[in-house]
Amino acid sequence: MGHDALARATPARADDAWLHRSIELWLPLATDANERYDWGYGGHDIERLIIVALPDLERADSSDAARAVLWFCHRRQHSAGAGR
């Protein structure tokens, strides 16, 4: 993911330490969703999904809501990739 895309996908306070902590926080849930729904993402792709989803993940008030955010972002990325 390029620097411009990362800047658009994360809040203004997205310093390296905050981003690293955020990825670590959401990685187990994103990895589980990747395996459960057979998305086929590798490690970097899961991290990219988390980064794109971060603004909405921060507002999720349950693990089900967070899964829905990840699902939506997965579908959006998949749809964007299919149109190329």
Quick one: pLDDT at residue 16? 87
Q: What residues make up the domain containing 55?
A: 3-82
> What is the value of pTM for the model shown?
0.78
Asked if 83 contacts 52 with a C-beta cutoff of 8 angstroms, the reply is: no
Give me the number of domains the chain comprises.
1
Report the C-alpha gap between 84 and 77 in whole angstroms: 11
Quick one: pLDDT at residue 79? 87
Quick one: pLDDT at residue 6? 52
Q: Which residue has the tokens 């994103």?
A: 30
Q: Which residue has the tokens 């902590």?
A: 21
Share of the chain residues as helix, strand and coil, in percent rounded to the nearest 5: 75, 0, 25
Quick one: pLDDT at residue 11? 54
Quick one: pLDDT at residue 80? 79
Q: What is the CA radius of gyration of the chain?
A: 12
The per-residue pLDDT string of the chain (84 residues; one tens digit each, 9 = 90 and over) reads 444 555 555 555 558 889 999 999 999 999 999 999 999 999 999 999 999 999 999 999 999 999 999 999 999 988 877 543
In 3-state terms, what secondary structure has residue 1? Answer: coil
